[in-house]
Structure formats: structure tokens, C-alpha cells
Amino acid sequence: MRFRPLRSSTKETPTVTVADPPARMRAVVFDETGAPDVLHSSSVPVPSPVISELLVRVVAAGVNPIDAKTRAGRGVAQAISQYPTVPGFDFSGIVVSSPYEAHAFPAGTEVYGMLPYPRSGGSYAEYAVVPTLSVARKPASLSHVEAAGVPLAALTAWGLVVETAHAHEGQRVLIHAGSGGVGHFAVQFAAYFGAHVTVTASGRNAPWLRELGASVVIDYTTTRFDEVVTDMDVVIDLVGNVAADTGSRSVKVLRPGGLYILVPTGSWPGYAAAADAAGVRATSYKVVPDGSALATIGRLLDSGSVQVYIDKVFDLGDAAAAHAELEAGHTRGKIVLRVSDD
Ligand SMILES: NC(=O)c1ccc[n+]([C@@H]2O[C@H](COP(=O)([O-])OP(=O)(O)OC[C@H]3O[C@@H](n4cnc5c(N)ncnc54)[C@H](OP(=O)(O)O)[C@@H]3O)[C@@H](O)[C@H]2O)c1
């Protein structure tokens, strides 16, 4: 068998020319953990990829609660190896350099993805380095701002709903905080696979969540969910015991042997013993960057089966305001930072 030379014709493999990256870039950094105002703009070196990584010019960066928790000294702050440090996991942008000529994501490809977690991040910047296996082609129907709102939240929702709960026709799922970044994807994935979806959210979000596929929306500000639901197969808990004993009440609304999934790390250290006492199964969950899952999610987005909702867009330099907004706790869908022009 003869192999065709990869560069036999410039017509077959058009060369995409992308300008060499500069030595330094604009980024948002913090020099110490603290309140949102520790975030400030700075000039830092452009990171260098190793052979299994891509260098990406970031057009937009998604904002997640883990960014704010880490900035505040919690979250993955222990993974910060040096200051100043650039926060952020989510990005959408354009490949500047890739490992070899015939790589699936050559220079010029529009990609979206998630930086390694639980390392300390780095997407609030004009350039980021990311493992090739943690990215997928940007969904063609989405802008970079929209795509940047997807990776961490949708991968978490996918891991919870598809890989952990094995969502299927008729499965009875309760999702707490269905209106947030993770929640709005979890609602749509569970409904897509035929589950009967019950959600807790505030009343203002109820019509929107029904449009996304929720069958029942419980206004957590007026109604105790454990007084109106029972016999759930799965509870996806995006709140935990940090608010109104949400976790403790959740294990009580599961059928015997049902599955409780705790998502916010550390929000309820006693969950396993409480689940055991209630006769239900329990697990925590940690998101894993996964380019192939992102490719699948991208197809669902492009087909219109799933949508991303962008609540607010801030300029990169206004990252502190974006964190303050997120920490108010009432984001619908996602907050995104615009880093550069497309
Ligand atoms: N372990 C992991 O790998 C992992 C991955 C992703 C996220 N997380 C964690 O999971 C949690 C959710 O993340 P996220 O990105 O979805 O957060 P988010 O977007 O900031 O969530 C905001 C939403 O939460 C709703 N909410 C607040 N308190 C609520 C309550 N008591 N009951 C029901 N809904 C409530 C708000 O609704 P209203 O405006 O209506 O109040 C708002 O829409 C965070 O703690 C995050 O750190 C963990």
C-alpha cells in the first residue's frame, strides 16, 4: 500500500497562515487570593505548548464558579504554583499552532475547550495552551462568545446526566439549580434522553426551564421540594448543604436504591453516610476535560437540540465585575468574557 504524501498538493491541503504569536499578551491575573478586585489586567508571557498541546488565540472565555472560588482562596487555589496567576478554564478561539501538519486541529481551526482541571486555569488571556484531547471544533452555529459558555458547564452536565445517571426514557430526575450554567445543560440533556425532569429554581426562571424540557419546576424560594416530590430515581444536586439543607432533604425524596449525586465539592462532607442511612446510593462528581464529549455536545448544539444561554458578556478587563455578578448567585445560564475580536 502506498501512502499519499500529506503535502502533495496545496489545493488538497491548503496552508492556513496564522501570524506568529507575540512574546507577551494581555491577561487578567491575580497576585493573591481575595475579593473580586484582586483581579487586574497585566502583560504576561505567552505560554509555550508542548507537543501534545495546542496554542490557541482566545476570543472569549467562560466564567465558572470554580474561577471565583479559586480566586477567593478556595476551589483549586492549592493548585496555583506561582503568582501572578491567570484564572479561567473555558475558552473559544482559534488554533495558532498545533503538533504536526496533518493534526485534526491545524492552525486557523476554530475550537472550544477546557483547560486542565483541577489545575489553576489560564483562559482569561489572549492566548492559552491546552491539551489537544481537551478541545473540539467550535460548533459552527455558535459565536465564540456563545461557545465559550459551553465547555465546563456542559461537560459537567454530560458527565452527570449521561455518564453517571445514565439518563433514559421515563427516568425520574430532580435537578437542583436547573437555571444555572450546569443546570440548564443538565435539564436539556436529561430531557433529550427521555427523562422526566423536575427542577428547583426561582419562579422567574420557570417558563424558560419548561421550554428547555423540564416537566415540573419547583420555586425553591416559596416551596420546599421535599414536600412535593417523592420516588425520584436520581437527584443531581448543584447546591448541596450550603443552602437550606438541600442535600439532606434530597436523599429523602429518592426511591430506595436511587442515586444522589453531589456536585459542589465540599458542600456536604457527610453525604455518603446520610445516603447510606436513607437506603440510597450516593456519589460525588468531578468534571473531566473531554474533547470527544465536547464534539458530541457540539453536534447537539448545531442541530438545535440543545441551547446555551448567555446571561451577560463582560470585556476581559471587567473580569472583577463578572466575578461579582457570578457570586451574587443568580446567573441564568452563563457569564462570558470577551477577550479579543474574532
Ligand atoms: N464538581 C465539579 O466538577 C463541578 C463542576 C461544575 C460546577 N460545580 C459546582 O456546581 C455548582 C453549580 O455550578 P453552576 O455553574 O451551575 O452555578 P451557577 O451558574 O452560578 O448557578 C446559578 C444558579 O443557581 C440557582 N440557585 C441558587 N441557589 C439555589 C437554590 N438554593 N436552589 C435552587 N437553585 C438555586 C440560581 O437561580 P435563581 O437565580 O433562580 O436563584 C442561579 O440560576 C457550583 O457550586 C459549582 O462550583 C462543580
Q: Tell me if 24-150+308-338 shares its fold with 153-284.
A: no
Give Cβ neighbours of residue 2 (< 8 Å, ≥ 6 apart). Answer: none
CB 57 within 8 A of CB 340: yes
Ligand 1 within 6 A of CB of 27: no
Mutate to test the pocket of ligand 1, among 117, 236, 331 (most ligand atoms within 8 A of CB): 331
**Cβ of 310 less than 6 Å from ligand 1:** no
Question: Does the beta carbon of 250 sit less than 6 angstroms from any atom of ligand 1?
Answer: no
In eight-state DSSP terms, residue 150 is S
Q: Would the CB of 89 count as within 6 Å of ligand 1?
A: no
| Residues 28 and 316 sit within 8 Å (Cβ to Cβ) | yes
Residue nearest to atom 25 of ligand 1 (CA): 177
Domain residue limits, the chain? 24-150+308-338, 153-284
Question: By alpha-carbon position, which residue is closest to atom 30 of ligand 1?
Answer: 177
Cα–Cα distances (Å) from 228 to 186, 216, 302, in that order, read: 21, 10, 36
C-alpha distance from residue 113 to each of 146, 235, 309 (Å): 12, 27, 17
pLDDT in tens, the chain (342 residues): 344 444 444 444 333 446 789 999 999 999 999 999 999 999 999 999 999 999 999 999 999 999 999 999 999 999 999 999 999 999 999 999 999 989 999 999 999 999 999 898 999 999 999 999 999 999 999 999 999 999 999 999 999 999 999 999 999 999 999 999 999 999 999 999 999 999 999 999 999 999 999 999 999 999 999 999 999 999 999 999 999 999 999 999 999 999 999 999 889 999 999 999 999 999 999 999 999 999 999 999 999 999 999 999 999 999 999 999 999 999 999 999 999 988
* Pocket lining: 70 vs ligand 1, CB cutoff 6 Å: no
| pLDDT confidence of residue 266 | 87
pLDDT at res. 119: 92
Residue with cell 456536604: 268
Indicate which atom in ligand 1 lies nearest the CA of residue 205.
Answer: 40
64 CB less than 6 Å from ligand 1?
yes
Ramachandran region, residue 101 (left: φ > 0; alpha: ψ -120 to 50; beta: rest): alpha
* Domain made up of 153-284: CATH architecture: 3-Layer(aba) Sandwich (3.40)
Domain 24-150+308-338 is classified in which CATH homologous superfamily?
Answer: Medium-chain alcohol dehydrogenases, catalytic domain (3.90.180.10)
Q: Which are the contacts of 10, defined by CB distance < 8 A and separation ≥ 6?
A: none
Q: How far apart are CA 81 and CA 264, in angstroms?
A: 23
Q: Residue 60 and residue 65: Cα distance in Å, rounded?
A: 17
CB of 333 shorter than 6 A to ligand 1: no
pLDDT of residue 15: 34
**How remote is the CA of residue 264 from the centroid of ligand 1, in Å?**
8
| pLDDT value, residue 18 | 63
Tell me, in angstroms, the distance from the centre of ligand 1 to residue 88's CA.
Answer: 17
DSSP secondary structure of 12-79: TSPPPP-PPPPSEEEEEEBSS--SGGG-EEEEEEPP---TTEEEEEEEEEEE-HHHHHHHTT-TTGGG
Q: Going by CA atoms, what residue is nearest to atom 36 of ligand 1? A: 330
Q: Is the CB of 294 under 6 A from ligand 1?
A: no
**DSSP letter assigned to residue 124:** S
Q: Answer whether 7 contacts ligand 1 (Cβ < 6 A).
A: no
Which of 67, 74, 117, 179 to probe ligand 1 with, by most ligand atoms within 8 A of CB? Answer: 179
